[in-house]
Amino acid sequence: MQLTVNGQSHTVDVEDDMPLLWVLRDELGITGVKYGCGIAQCGACTVHMDGVAVRSCQVSAGSADGADVVTVEGLGTPDAMHAVQQAWVNHQVAQCGYCQSGQIMQAASLLDNNPDPSDTDIDMVMSGNLCRCGTYPRIRAAIKTAAATLKET
């Protein structure tokens, strides 16, 4: 299969039913995306596929053939962070951090669709991304900060 990840084209030889998550982590060595549950219950593996947030553990390699995938590594860079990533740093959102790449990718997708989300909007989009450390109040605050930043730019 062929796919583009973070702007770079890749060809991988995998079974069609391999989850995209394993293509990214095991075949391409892109480990920002995390394995949490493998059954779409936690959101830790969230990436963008063709501009839409998906749980990469649920997307088969066959379905991702030809897709344009963005992981947390491609959302921004340490020198030029995406507004969501910068807000995450400013609010020191992460505790253990394991779920955070999925949270960030889902939050970026939320702001793509809704540049001025209310608390209710945030809760409706982010409730599928679990955080065992309970960083939800900081996640909500960081999303509002990122929304304000994106409005200024």
Partner 1 sequence: MRIFICLMAIVIATTSWAEEITLSTPAEGSVSTAEGLSAWDRVYEVASHPRCANCHVGPSEQPMWSGPSYGKTRPHGMNIHAGESRIGAETMLCSTCHAYREGTGNDLPHMAPQVAMNWQLAPVEAHWFGQSSEEICNQLRDPDRNGGRTMDEIAEHLNHDLILHWAWSPGGGREPAPYSLQEHVNDILIWGVAGFPCANDQ
Tell whether residue 89 is a contact of partner 1 (CB under 8 A): no
Burial of 137 (0-12, 13-18, 19+ CB in 10 A): exposed
Site string for partner 1, 99-118 (x = CB under 8 A): -------x------x-----
- Output helix, strand, coil percentages for the chain, rounded to the nearest 5: 40, 15, 45
Site residues (CB under 8 A) for partner 1, limited to 51-80:
52-55, 58-60, 62-63
Task: Count Cα atoms within 13 angstroms, Cβ side, for 12.
Answer: 26
The window from 33-41, 81-89, 90-98, 142-150 that contacts partner 1 (CB under 8 A) reads 33-41
Tell whether residue 23 is a contact of partner 1 (CB under 8 A): no
Task: List interacting residues with partner 1 (CB under 8 A).
Answer: 16-17, 39-41, 46, 52-55, 58-60, 62-63, 106, 113, 121, 123-125, 127-128
